[in-house]
Amino acid sequence: MKRKYLYYLLPLLGTIFGLWYIFSATCDGIYSDYIRLVNSYLPDVWNPSKFFVPDILTRIPVNYLGRIINIYLFGYNTMFDRVLGVLALGLSGGVIGAYCLRRKIPLLWYSILLVVLFSLNKWEMLTNGSGWTHFLSFVCFYYHYEILDRVWSGEEKPYDKLRLVILPFATTLLVAGPYCAIYSVTVILVCGFLFLLKKGRGKGNYCLYGISALISLGLYLWSNSYAIEDHATPVTGSLFDQLKETPGFFVRFFVKSFSSMVIGGESAEKLFHTNLPFMILGFLVILLYLIAIWYNFKFRLYEKTIFPLILIVSGGLNHILIVMSRWIFLLENYGISSRYALQFQTGILGILLTFALILHGRKRRTNSLVRFTAAVAFVVFLIGNSYTTYIEIRKAPNRLENYEKRVELARNFENLSDDELRAEFEYRPTREDSGAKVRSALTILKENEYSVFGSNGKEKN
């Protein structure tokens, strides 16, 4: 019983740490994506015409509820969104804790999993509260994977099979939005794999689970076909044209993206001065991916538990997705951005779980090579993520200072030019109308006394 409480206490401590970080590194005030959100949805958050749009399923409906609560209880305080993001990250820790408790993962390995999960390599997503549903999406993903694992391993709870039919629709259409792509593809692939492996009664259930994911993804794509894109494309050529012209760029982009799971991108850029360290770390992580996949099959882990393999597949597919969708910026370091750490870390969790299960599985003998690769993974991810977190903690006061500076500029926005607003509030710097959009958003907030213009945000006389 004490062990059970400890496995849930650690995610709680990680959540407290995340809350401490966002209050140490940020404060209320809009910038970046918030400019678009304010202009699009405020002040009339109850207006049905803003909700019932042709591409409603691409707008992440749960955002509307969060926005309404934020307006009426907190006067549109961006800290509310950041807190939601951290709480969702904590829930992810709880789901992983439930799995580790069920599979009897040693506390030491579980602690390393949480070091990765709560690492500040994802500082950009933590500080940009507008992405709180990204964190909530991963709670839903992990929960779905955990239930699928329970059913596969014969440890299902009441209504688990029903949940596997309903969850893809709830997750994809209400919470995940554009984050659903890899989740849906992963579930479809895994259910197909389990369908082929399953013998006897219940084989068809996995086909049903995969079809549910496929239909929900189809509904999302259908809704997305009505969306009006408002993003400038830096490159006019096709992927294949660029691939023929600069094949090395894609290799470096892809490999370097894996290195960010050892040392956070911003920290690594200041630490490394050539491509070589990035490439070495990237290839090391790719090698650990391949080894973990091989061990899942060599030791037939998938016969007992499919959760680690699902995480590895999801993490690897996310790396491919980022290359396919972000190559257009022609920046090979774009893949090491902090904003993608939440997606990439899924695979690392799967790798660590694989080694933990192999080393501590019952009646399973392991050779020195297995123990060596497990030790490498243990040390590399522990030291790398701890270092990144340490660096980000040191940067927290400077980040807070930048946010406080932006608050003062917001209160004085009427005296700033459009060019100054565009630069200071980090909103689409290449767009000529971005400064006017910032001015419009700040005007809405001031007229309605929201955010830094509200009673809680005004300076004391």
For 114, which DSSP code?
Answer: H
3-state secondary structure of 331: coil
Residues 6+ apart with CB under 8 A from 79: 22, 23, 26, 27, 28, 129
One DSSP character per residue, 11-77 reads HHHHHHHHHHHHHHH--S---THHHHHHHHH-S-TT-GGGTS-TTGGGS-THHHHHHHHHHHHHSS-
Which portions of the chain are predicted below pLDDT 50? 457-461
For residue 429, give the DSSP letter.
Answer: T
Cα(51)–Cα(278) distance, integer angstroms: 44
Predicted structure pTM score: 0.93
Evaluate the CA torsion angle 376, 377, 381, 382 in order and state its sign.
negative
- pLDDT value at residue 461: 29
- Report the pLDDT value the prediction gives residue 459, as an integer from 0 to 100: 44
Contact (CB, 8 A) for 125 and 134 = yes
Give me the pLDDT at residue 188, please.
Answer: 95
Whether omega before 158 lies within 30 degrees of 0, making that bond cis, reads no
Tokens of 274: 């050539």
So what's the pLDDT on residue 456? 56
Per-residue pLDDT at 434? 83
The rounded distance, in Å, linking the Cα atoms of 347 and 290 is 11
